[in-house]
């Protein structure tokens, strides 16, 4: 009888301990969730406040500025009072920007056709910008450089034409490096806390099949930006470097990727990787179709994130922006075991 009572007492003690441990775990999880939400709310409030900062007397250069995220960013900055140099290689799109924003809206937007794959072209742009800044005593230097220009091709990296791989490397990675090199002195001459903001991608943080070259350029851009930032910190200079990694965006660049994939498949039906790409491409279309655009950001969403970071000296050096309902997918990709992530990316998309 005594042994039975001792056994029951031991069981009750274990249950109480387990319950106490469970409560402690629950409290810890709730505290963690509260801190995460509080941090998110704080950042949202800071971003909203940053979007209200006037850009009067400040100058920005935005590459890829004539369409998509770049166009939205140019307009948002200009409406805040910035002088914006809208840089692009597409003359027709530049003409549209000039008409809509400068002539009709009366904003201080100056267009410049520039090829970021050419150092000579980037330096010619720098010479123009610095010369025009000299005539304005209130603008001693460049306050903001946003590297937004990018191209993307779809297909197995081992089977893609070399020209496609090289073009992506030259535009997406070497382009920002050329622009930063060309505008170094102008950025350091700013009377304000100047900033470089690079448009990366979550593709540079996770492995997306059939986008190897694009993902490689974005991963390289992040590495360049973070290393540059630390070199500037070590030098004690007043120049911030940030990278924004957006998720899927509803832009012409992203919309064209699906058609580009289908075109590649039609031209390379006998390729070693064609069947695998066709299968994932079909599932990708189902998951990322027009009917499921809840996973997409709009260009304005990314533009606001870029401008908020540019206006806030306390912004993190690297941040991610994805559509609210895309967060679970992205979080899974970052936390799942490798084999599970492979299954998600190659079977379920």
Give the model confidence (pLDDT) of 257-279 as tens digits: 767 777 788 888 888 888 888 88
Its pTM stands at 0.83
According to DSSP, the β-strands at 59-63 and 83-88 are parallel
Select the more confidently predicted residue: 160 or 140: 160
Q: Which domain holds residue 155?
A: 55-346
120 in a structural domain: yes
Select the more confidently predicted residue: 134 or 6: 134
- pLDDT at position 136 is 80
Tally of domains in the chain: 1
196 in a structural domain: yes
CB–CB of 199/148 below 8 Å? yes
Q: Which residues contact 190 (CB under 8 A, 6 or more apart)?
A: 140, 141, 142, 143, 238
Mean pLDDT of the chain: 86
**pLDDT tens column, 42-96:** 555 555 566 667 789 999 999 999 999 999 999 999 999 999 999 999 999 999 9
Half-sphere exposure of 192 (CA within 13 A, CB side): 20
CATH number, domain of 158, equals 3.40.50.720
**Pick from 198, 208, 185: which is nearest to 241 by CA?**
198
223 in a structural domain: yes
CB–CB of 207/345 below 8 Å? yes
Q: CA–CA separation, 18 vs 148, rounded Å? A: 54
Q: Band of the pLDDT at 349, cuts 50, 70, 90?
A: very low
271 in a structural domain: yes
Q: Where are the alpha helices (DSSP H) in the chain?
A: 2-50, 68-79, 91-97, 119-134, 162-168, 175-182, 184-188, 212-235, 252-267, 274-287, 299-311, 327-335, 338-346
In sequence order, what DSSP letters do the residues of 218-285 get, joined into one string? HHHHHHHHHHHHHHHHHHT-SEEEEEEEE--B-SHHHHHHHHHHHHHHHH-TTSTTHHHHHHHHHHHH
252 in a structural domain: yes
Average pLDDT over residues 169-183: 98
161 phi and psi, to 5 degrees? -60, 140
34 in a structural domain: no
Question: What end-to-end distance do the CA atoms of the chain give, in Å?
Answer: 62
21 in a structural domain: no
Q: Is 321 helix (H, G, I), strand (E, B) or coil?
A: strand
132 in a structural domain: yes
- pLDDT at position 46 is 58
The tokens for 235 are 């030098």
**Pick from 64, 90, 95, 65: which is nearest to 78 by CA?**
65
The tokens for 12 are 């009750």
Q: CA–CA separation, 263 vs 257, rounded Å? A: 10
Q: Which residues contact 289 (CB under 8 A, 6 or more apart)?
A: none
- pLDDT at position 45 is 57
């Amino acid at each position: 009888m005594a042994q039975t009572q001792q056994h029951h007492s031991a069981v009750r003690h274990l249950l109480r301990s387990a319950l106490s441990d469970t409560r402690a775990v629950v409290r810890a999880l709730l505290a963690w969730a509260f801190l995460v939400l509080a941090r998110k709310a704080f950042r949202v409030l800071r971003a909203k406040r940053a979007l209200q900062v006037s850009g009067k007397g400040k100058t920005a250069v935005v590459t890829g500025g004539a369409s998509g995220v770049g166009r939205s960013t140019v307009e948002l900055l200009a409406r805040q009072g910035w002088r914006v140099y809208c840089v692009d290689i597409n003359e027709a799109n530049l003409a549209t920007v000039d008409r809509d924003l400068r002539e009709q809206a009366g904003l201080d937007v100056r267009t410049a056709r520039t090829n970021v794959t050419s150092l000579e072209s980037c330096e010619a742009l720098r010479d123009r910008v610095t010369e025009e800044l000299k005539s304005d005593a209130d603008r001693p230097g460049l306050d903001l450089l946003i590297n937004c220009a990018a191209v993307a091709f779809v297909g197995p990296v081992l089977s893609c034409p070399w020209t496609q791989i090289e073009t992506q490397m030259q535009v997406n990675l070497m382009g920002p490096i050329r622009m930063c090199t060309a505008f170094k002195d102008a950025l350091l001459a700013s009377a304000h806390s100047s900033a470089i903001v690079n448009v990366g991608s979550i593709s540079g943080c996770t492995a997306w099949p059939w986008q190897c070259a694009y993902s490689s350029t974005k991963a390289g851009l992040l590495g360049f930006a973070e290393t540059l930032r630390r070199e500037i910190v070590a030098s004690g200079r007043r120049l911030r470097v940030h990278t924004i990694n957006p998720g899927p965006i509803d832009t012409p660049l992203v919309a064209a990727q699906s058609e580009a994939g289908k075109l590649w498949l039609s031209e390379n039906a006998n390729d070693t990787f064609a069947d695998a790409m066709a299968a994932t491409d079909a599932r990708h279309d189902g998951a990322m179709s027009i009917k499921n655009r809840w996973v997409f950001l709009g260009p304005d969403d990314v533009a606001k994130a870029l401008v908020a970071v540019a206006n806030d000296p306390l912004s993190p050096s690297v941040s991610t922006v994805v559509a609210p309902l895309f967060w679970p997918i992205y979080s899974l990709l970052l936390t799942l075991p490798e084999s599970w992530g492979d299954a998600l990316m190659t079977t379920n998309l």
